[in-house]
Chains A and B, each alone.
Chain A
Amino acid sequence: MEAREYDLAIIGGGIVGCSLFSEAVLKGVKAVLLEADNDVSVLATKANSGIIHSGYDPMPDSKMARFNVRGNQIYPALCKRLNVDFMACGSLTVAPKEGREKLQMLLERGKKNGVPNLRIVEKAELFAMEPNLADGIEVGLFAPSAGVVSPFNVCIALAEEGVINGGTLLTNFAVDKIEKIKSESGESKIQSEDKKIQSGDNKIQAEINKSGGNKNQDKYIIQSGDKQVVAKYVVNCAGANANEVNALVGIKPYPMNFVKGEYILSDKTLVNFINHPIFPLPSEITKGIIVNVTTFGNILFGPTAIECDKDDTSVDINGINYIKEKVALSVKNANFKKTIKLFAGVRVKSGKDFVVERDTKNNHFYYALGICSPGLTAAPAIAEYFIEMLEQDGIQTKKITAKNRPAYINTQAMDKNSLNELIKKNPAYGRIICRCEEISEGEIIDALNSPLHPYTIDAIKRRVRPTMGRCQGSFCIPKLIKIFAEQRKIKQEQVTIDGKTSELLVSNIKEGGFYEK
């Protein structure tokens, strides 16, 4: 099988990996992004609060503080460049009067971290900003630089930008082996080091030899089953699986724990219930239960913080009850009857700070792990930091003329004339499939044909939102299955929610007899 060679391989298509991927590609680096799952943005990145934190919470001089504040600076322009929404709403941390001292402390900490324009807000102004705050609330900390994004929209846009500009994304590429090839003195050390390559894959060997111009360059063969790529520089952004990937090159595991965050998502009809993300006073461990807005207009309550297994994204009734109880301390009259979805994501923690390192033993191997909150905010800054290191370590960059990553057509946001022109050209934009979010067939087909070639219903949902509305897909799933099957030329029974073994349909009817075997 053909192994392509890249300057840079990034392992993991979460927000950190995708940020780095796009930045590297725009710097002219020949980069490949390796993602174990069927799409980018599928684990921690897709299931979090979506808040671009201002940065008063992390301890000064930590990586968290540095990357948080820098990431916060990057986001508005980044979102503009990517054509995704950035809600520049600021954030409020609210407290009863006993909390004033702690808010003052957070303000001081924020100043130390370099957070701009933080200020204490008194009751009258606070309630003018947020009329639905709970009765006991007296004082707040306003952080105007905070914002809200759709984390999966940003992550997908970054990966798309990378691909549009010549980067390569390989999905379903779960790295299970990394081999290092040393080529210290120019003679073919590869042959003695790795018999498999010598005997098995001449193409790789040829490629490796051919590009052996830089004699002191280590290279890595990265494998996933029988697939492989070769890269000179490797950055491990594998999130929850970062220790396992590091272990493939002999790096000792970091302490890691997994903390589940459960959420309650409400219908859009609660819009204007609040206008900012509202935080309670943070504890040592978490920022607490946030009452949050989404870029789409839903209200989001959560997250909890519960130690769990790595891949446990299940929701428990105790967590849901805990959220409801805590929400009442920040806001009054939260209407949980408008709930449309419960979900959970898993944060990865490694001690109290992020781990973002250049490995000391493996030349040109780097890793980021323990990127818990504020990881979404920090990701572009972490990417920037990795790029600096890579440049210091001699990665080849060149100027490219970057192509703009276009937004998906959104018929809901169009004015009458431009919509009618569009529908005239292609009536599919006038055929509404998802009635709750008013998503047309044209928009769904666009998403199916988008740069990353998504092929699950969840992947399309993360791009253009069908099934994300108040009915949660009960009206449009049958139609979506049909469109998928037609567009992809597969059987309806092969259409999945989230990749293999998540098929929705079993067979045609009248092929029954399951009961009587």
Chain B
Amino acid sequence: MKSDIVVLGGGPAGLAAAYGASKQGASVTLIERNYRLGGILNQCIHNGFGLHYFGEEYTGPEYAQKWIEKLSECSVNIMLNSLVDKIEKISDKHLRVWFKNEKGLDSIDCKAMVLSMGCRERPAGAINLCGTRPAGVFSAGEAQKLVNIHGKMVGKKIVILGSGDVGLIMARRMTCEGAEVLGVYEVMPNCGGLARNVAQCLNDFNIPLYLSTSIVRVEGKKRVTGVWVAPVKPDFSFEMDKQKYIECDTVLLSVGLIPENDLVADFGLEMSKVTGSAVVNEFYQTSMPELFICGNVMHVNDLVDNVSNEGVLAGASAGRFVKKGLPENQKIEIIHDSRIRYTVPTYVYKNDEPEIMLLFRVDKEYRKIMLIIKSGGEEIQKIPRPVVRAGEMEIVKIAKAKIKGDLSIEMVELESGKKMIK
């Protein structure tokens, strides 16, 4: 089998990437392991999707359906129930993708790939969750699938560890299904999820959020019987004299997402220590030219609308790469304020593209901020922000024409005048 481009994963990023690539006239094959497209959107039955992209609010499955419909206009070869087993680089612009399905093990050759595999949830071991290992400890997304897709309750008295968005959403969901959610515990001093989710999922249901507090140990031999929680000090050790016991039968973990990029672990891609994934240029191209990447496998997004934008761009870039090549000259590394954890992309080129979209996250909440973009020793853009938060993605559009030989982004706290840049 052959295809110009293989898109790996049929969630929101992959759907958009296949669409973007196809619009460039490339032949596209999308490989999805589930029996249907949409990925995790299928289990996100709450609303809030699509406001930015479609100007209308949808549920997860509805948002997926909008993209599946868009994709049906294109002639994309969609392979469902197929798990990619291995990717091989044969030569330049020649990759071989091995996959398994009910028909057996087979391969497809392509000129470029878009990685859109999403992410997985960090398991209990990864955060050194101590105590026993009974039934009743679920990751929030796993519980979400059991409740929303399988129609099953996972517990009655629930403690949520971690304030990621899935955890917040599940706090509300479990409450609506009649469970008692005793609280959300967050090891960090700030919430990991969107402010709107704190308001709509916790505050509206009187579910307490405990910051700088975490689970010391889980109790219960066969099923969870309770947890010990304690405040954490700035060095993340526990204030053990303040620990207290909470009786519960279930612990949901919303303690971070890890890019599901193990398939390309052996390629020696240039990686970001912050995102745990490949570093990209403005085309969402990795350090291996045939590999493009988008969505949560690139960096964890807060809004699916952003994921779709990334997907379209990565797909279109892959299409252009295959069809006529990308305008690459003079690579510029973006320098950023140290309170900005990372930027996507990491590199831009000096070229005639109209603009770049710069995505970044800050390390904690700041109020009354001025973002200053500089190039060639000049301020080329100033963007005021009333508030920036660790849990929320910031997006800045920069006109390419203004970019000279370098590009930096500064953040100034207007009240103190504090700025931090390398």
Query: What is the bound-complex CA distance between A74 and B221, given in angstroms?
Result: 36
Is B153's CB under 8 angstroms from A511's CB? yes
Closest to B124 in A: A472
Q: Kindly supply a per-residue 1/0 record for chain B positions 116-136, scoring 1 wherever the CB is within 8 Å of any chain A CB and 0 otherwise.
A: 000011011110111111111
State whether the Cβ of B400 lies closer than 8 Å to any Cβ in chain A. no
B153 touches A508 (CB 8 A): yes
Is the CB of B150 closer than 8 A to any CB of chain A? yes
Contact A508/B123 with A342-B129, A502-B222 known, Cβ cut-off 8 Å: no
Q: B204 at the A/B interface (Cβ < 8 Å)?
A: no
C-alpha spacing A499/B222, complex, angstroms: 8
Contacts A340-B123, A514-B180 given; indicate if A432 touches B100 (C-beta within 8 A): yes
Contact with A along B320-349 (1 / 0, CB 8 A): 000000000000000000000000000000
**B180 near A478 (CB under 8 angstroms)?**
no
- Let me know if B177 is at the binding interface, CB within 8 A: yes
CA distance A109 to B223 in the complex (A): 47
Query: Does A127 make an interface contact (CB < 8 A)?
Result: no
Convert B62-73 into 0s and 1s, putting 1 for each residue whose CB lies closer than 8 angstroms to a CB of A. 000000000000
| A512 adjacent to B177 (CB under 8 Å) | yes
Known: A340-B125, A512-B177. A498 touches B139 (CB 8 A): no
Among listed A347-355, A364-372, A417-425, interface-contacting one: A417-425
Chain B residue nearest in CB terms to A476: B142
Within B201-219, the residues touching A (CB, 8 Å) are: 216-217
Residues on B with beta carbons closer than 8 Å to the beta carbon of A430: 100-104
A320 and B130 within 8 A (CB):
yes
Max count, chain B CB within 10 A of own CB: residue among A320, A470, A474? A474
With the chains together, A109 CA to B414 CA distance in Å?
72
Residues in chain B near residue A438, CB distance under 8 A: 83, 85, 100
- Pair B123/A478 contact, Cβ less than 8 Å: no
- A472 near B223 with CB under 8 A, answer no
B103 touches A514 (CB 8 A): no
B173 to A, closest residue via Cβ: A509
Contact A420 B104 (CB under 8 A): yes
Which residues of chain B have C-beta atoms less than 8 A from A470's C-beta?
Answer: 120, 123, 258, 262
Q: Which residue of B has the minimal Cβ distance to A423?
A: B104
Q: A506-B153, A509-B152 are in contact. Are A472 and B123 (CB under 8 A)?
A: yes
Selected contact of B222 from candidates A269, A427, A501, CB within 8 Å: A501
B120 pairs with A474, CB closer than 8 A: yes
Distance (whole angstroms) from the CB of B154 to the closest CB of chain A = 6
Interface centre among A315, A316, A500 (most CB of B within 10 A): A315
A512–B175 Cα distance when bound, in Å, is: 9
B265 within 8 A of A: yes
B231 at the interface (CB under 8 A from A): no
Asked if B125 and A472 sit within 8 Å, CB to CB, the answer is: yes
Give the contacting residue for A471; candidates B100, B120, B132; CB below 8 A: B120
* Contact partners of B156 in chain A: CB under 8 A: 506, 514
A16 to chain B, nearest CB (A): 24
Of the candidate stretches A130-138, A159-167, A390-398, A489-497, the one touching chain B is A489-497
Cα distance A470–B125 when bound, in Å? 10
The reply to whether A502 and B142 contact each other, CB–CB distance below 8 Å, is: no
Is A172 interfacial (CB 8 A cutoff)?
A: no
Task: Tell me the minimal C-beta distance from A424 to chain B in angstroms.
Answer: 7
If A314-B132, A470-B120, A509-B147 touch, does A269 touch B125 (CB 8 Å cutoff)?
no
Give Cα distance in the complex from A474 to B143, angstroms: 8
- Residues of B with C-beta under 8 A to A477: 138, 142, 146
List the A residue with the shortest CB-CB distance to B129: A342
**A509 to B222 Cα, complex, angstroms:** 23
Please report which residues of chain B, range 144-188, place their CB below 8 angstroms from some CB of chain A when the two chains form the complex. 145-147, 149-157, 175, 177-180
**A432 CA / B33 CA spacing, docked (Å):** 8
Q: Flag whether B77 is at the interface (Cβ < 8 A).
A: no
Complex Cα–Cα for A424 and B105 (A): 10
The digit string for A306-322, where 1 denotes a CB below 8 A from any CB of B, is 00000101111100100
For A420, give its contact among B105, B126, B149, B150 (CB under 8 Å): B105
- B residues within 8 A CB of A342? 124-125, 128-130
Contact (Cβ within 8 A) A502 B125:
no
Set A314, A431, A482, A499: member contacting B130, Cβ < 8 A? A314
* A339-B128 in contact (CB<8A): yes
**B50 on the A face (CB < 8 A):** no
Question: Are B180 and A502 interface neighbours, CB within 8 A?
Answer: no
Known: A342-B128, A477-B142. Contact between A471 and B121, CB under 8 A?
Answer: yes
Contacts of B258 in A (CB 8 A): 470
Partner of A341, one of B102, B125, B138: B125
Q: Is the Cβ of B130 less than 8 Å from the Cβ of A316?
A: yes
What residues of B have a CB within 8 angstroms of the CB of A471 in the complex?
Answer: 120-121, 123
Q: Give the shortest distance, in Å, between A141 (CB) and chain B (any CB).
A: 32
B141 is an interface residue with CB less than 8 A from chain A: yes
Considering the complex, which residues of chain A in the window 415-447 have a beta carbon less than 8 Å from any beta carbon of chain B? 416, 419-420, 423-424, 427, 430-432, 435, 438, 440
B132 touching A496, Cβ below 8 Å: no
Residues from chain B with Cβ under 8 Å of A209 in the complex: none
Q: Which of B145, B146, B178, B238 contacts A505 (CB 8 A)?
A: B146
How many residues on the B side are at the interface (Cβ–Cβ under 8 A)? 55
**A510 touches which of B105, B129, B175, B177 (Cβ 8 Å):** B177
Minimal beta-carbon separation of B79 from chain A (angstroms):
13
Interface hits, A54-91 → B, CB 8 Å: none
> Does B81 make an interface contact (CB < 8 A)?
yes
Instruction: Specify which chain B residues have a CB less than 8 angstroms from the CB of A515 in the assembled complex.
Output: 175, 178-180
Q: Give, as a whole number of angstroms, the nearest-CB distance from B131 to chain A.
A: 5
Which one, B141, B149, B154, B177, contacts A474 given CB within 8 A?
B141
Kindly state the separation between the CA atoms of A471 and B122 in the bound complex, as whole angstroms.
7
Also in contact, A316 and B217, with CB within 8 A (given A342-B125, A473-B142)? yes
Do A478 and B265 form a contact, CB below 8 Å, given A438-B85, A498-B135, A502-B134? no
Residue of A whose beta carbon sits closest to that of B142: A474
Could you tell me the distance between the alpha carbons of A515 and B175 in the complex, rounded to whole angstroms?
Answer: 8
On chain A, the residues within 8 Å of B238 by CB distance are 317
The answer, yes or no, to whether A504 is at the interface (CB within 8 Å) is yes
A343 contacts the other chain (CB 8 A): yes
Q: Decide if A254 is an interface residue (CB 8 Å cutoff).
A: no
Write the nearest CB–CB distance from A38 to chain B, whole angstroms. 11
Query: How far is the CB of A343 from the nearest CB of chain B, in Å?
Result: 7
A432 and B120 in contact, given A339-B125, A474-B142, A496-B135 (Cβ under 8 angstroms): no
Instruction: Kindly report which residue of chain A lies nearest to residue B123, judged by CB atoms.
Output: A472
Query: Which residues of chain A are within 8 angstroms of B125 by Cβ–Cβ distance?
Result: 264-265, 339-342, 472
Are the C-beta atoms of A419 and B105 separated by less than 8 Å? yes
The residues of A that contact B126 with a CB separation of less than 8 Å are 337, 339-340
Bound form: Cα–Cα A470–B132 in Å: 19
Give the residue of A423, A478, A500 whose beta carbon is less than 8 angstroms from that of B103.
Answer: A423
Q: For A419, give its contact among B83, B104, B136 (CB under 8 Å).
A: B104
Residues in B with CB closer than 8 Å to A510 are 151, 177
Distance in Å: Cβ of A11 to nearest Cβ of chain B: 22
From A311, A420, A435, A472, residue with most partner B Cβ within 10 Å = A472
Is A507 in contact with B153, judged by CB distance below 8 angstroms? yes
Alpha-carbon gap, A315 to B137, bound state (A): 15
* Chain B nearest CB, measured from A327 CB (Å): 14
Within the assembled complex, what's the spacing in Å between the Cα atoms of A504 and B154? Answer: 6
Q: Are A478 and B104 in contact (CB under 8 A)?
A: no
Alpha-carbon distance between A493 and B152 when the two chains are bound, in angstroms: 8
Query: A514–B142 contact, CB under 8 A?
Result: no
**A475 beta carbon closer than 8 Å to chain B:** yes
A-B contact pairs, 28 of them (CB 8 A): A269-B265, A313-B132, A314-B130, A315-B133, A341-B123, A341-B124, A420-B104, A423-B104, A432-B83, A435-B33, A435-B83, A470-B258, A471-B120, A474-B120, A474-B121, A478-B146, A482-B150, A493-B152, A504-B154, A506-B152, A507-B153, A509-B147, A509-B153, A510-B177, A514-B157, A514-B178, A514-B180, A515-B179
Instruction: List 3 A-B pairs, minimum CB-CB distance, nearest first.
Output: A512-B178, A420-B104, A472-B123
List 8 extra interface pairs beyond A340-B125, A497-B134, A505-B146, CB under 8 A: A269-B262, A314-B217, A342-B130, A438-B83, A440-B100, A470-B258, A474-B142, A498-B222
